[in-house]
Amino acid sequence: MKKRKLGNSGLEVSAMGLGCMGMSWSYGPAKDKQEMVSLLRAAVERGVTFFDTAEVYGPLVNEELLGEALAPFNGRLVIATKFGWEPKPGDTDRWSALNSRPEHIKQAVEGSLKRLKVDAIDLLYQHRVDPDVPIEEVAGAVKELIQAGKVKHFGLSEAGAQTIRRAHAVQPVTALQSEYSLWFREPEVDILPTLEELGIGFVPFSPLGKGFLTGKINETTQFDVTDFRNSVPRLTPEARKANQVVIDLLASTATRLHATPAQVALAWLLAQKPWIVPIPGTTQLNRLDENIGSVSLELSPDDLRDINEAIAKITVQGARYSEQHQKLVGR
């Protein structure tokens, strides 16, 4: 597995990470715990060293899953987690009670350390910007945790460019995690230039469009009633039908390169900047292998030009979030 460094921080991780949310939450019912333990350990065996979780996933149980599965590899991996909500066991509201008050951050970190079975959190993200707490206070609280040896690196998720700058001035930001893919390129406007200027790494989540860019989802696909994709405007049956043109583009390139649409989508992301590390999620070993295979898929300058020219002619239908969830991003 190739390695990459997240910006100027020196934090080195596998070129492809693993997003773990769907193992416990959001994409339908939680998966069998022992199967997920086996999958996580299989990822390590294949060279993946970068794993992404959060306090709110479950809530709490996804961190516990990683703590159990990855404990044998302590010190060899980079595990990222997030604070920013006050999750309660059994809480079904993904967006309940933002809280980034310094005292809550410190309390959340103590819980994450125990669940992850580690002495220090490798990368700690603020999950969403809290409008009630100045970002300088948030960054200051994380700085104290870094000085105390409980956290190694500070990150932000879905933050706007000015918030990134303000936080970075207090405590250097190692990575930003936000959505970025062939069918959501908004970060290219001001986020990527800001990150490049400041030497901050970028960790795209949903690099496969919440599964759509794999080509395995179409207008007839039925999501489980507990699957949050039911609330995503871009993934209504009508939008999926209209957006099939994106899959057709990926499939034509994939056929020529003896790859899959998912591998082309991930290889495209990897080709954008050397400090970008996608974290596609999966609960299946064959999909894990498929995603990892994209790291060795080299897209030529001609390939990239053709893809960019073709995608520029496509208008993706539907917003990426509901109106309620969109209010939480870009602040």
**How far apart are alpha carbons 86 and 18 in whole angstroms?**
24
**Six token digits for residue 50:** 């970068």
**How far apart are alpha carbons 248 and 250 in whole angstroms?**
6
Q: Is 57 known to be catalytic?
A: yes
Neighbouring C-beta atoms of residue 77, cutoff 10 Å: 19
Residue 54 CA: distances (Å) to CA of 42, 167, 170, 203, 323: 21, 20, 23, 14, 23
Catalytic residue among 57, 125, 180, 321: 57
Residues designated catalytic? 57
